[in-house]
Structure 1
Amino acid sequence: MTRFLIVLLVALGAALASNPGADAHRAKLKAEIAERSQIAGVLGLGGLAALVSTYHTLGVASYTTINDRVVSYGAFGLVVIPELNSGR
């Protein structure tokens, strides 16, 4: 039981320390939009989307939203962008 608690505390500490910040989310969003659409990349739409996104942190994980829609998730230093055109 003690070993489990130690491992749990270490994992929690690692998650807290490596939670991606707002800049990481915005950079990933900008790059992902440019990668998915060359026209959007040329027009700088990724930068615009990154600019209007709102960063939220849960301590061990984080996410960004645009118009109350989650557009990125982050944890352990990684940022994931789900399919952007789903839900239309």
Structure 2
Amino acid sequence: MTKFLIAVLVLLGVALATNPGADSHRAKLKAEIAERSQIAGVLGLGGLAALVSTYYTLGVASYTTINDKVVSYGAFGLVVIPDLGNGR
């Protein structure tokens, strides 16, 4: 039981230390939008989306939203952008 508790505490510490910040989320969002659409990349829409996004942290994980829709998740130093949808 003690080894399990130590492992959980270490994992929690690593998650806290490597939680991606707002800049990581915004950079990933900007790059992902530019990658998915060349026109959006040329027009700089990824930068605009990154600018209007709101960053939230849960300590061990984080996320950003635009208009109350979650657009990125982050944990352990990684940021993931789910399918942003195409409005259909």
**TM-score interval w.r.t. the shorter chain?**
over 0.9
Q: Structure 1 stretches (4+) deviating beyond 2 angstroms?
A: none
Structure 1 residue 3: deviation in Å? Answer: 0.1
CA RMSD in angstroms comes to 1.1
The two structures have a TM-score, normalised by structure 2, of 0.97
Q: Which amino acid in 2 is paired with 1:53?
A: S
Give the AA of the match of 1:75.
A
* Structure 1 position 87, deviation (Å): 6.8
Of all paired residues, the percent bearing the same amino acid is: 86
Which consecutive unaligned segments of at least 5 residues does structure 1 have? none
* Matched positions, count: 88
What are the ranges of 5 or more consecutive residues in structure 2 without an aligned counterpart?
A: none
| Match runs of 1:48-59 below 5 Å | 48-59=48-59
Provide, for residues 28-87 of structure 1, a one-character-per-residue CA deviation record: whole Å limited to 9, x for no partner: 000000000000000000000000000000000000000000000000000000001167
Given the two structures, how large is their TM-score scaled by the length of structure 1?
Answer: 0.97
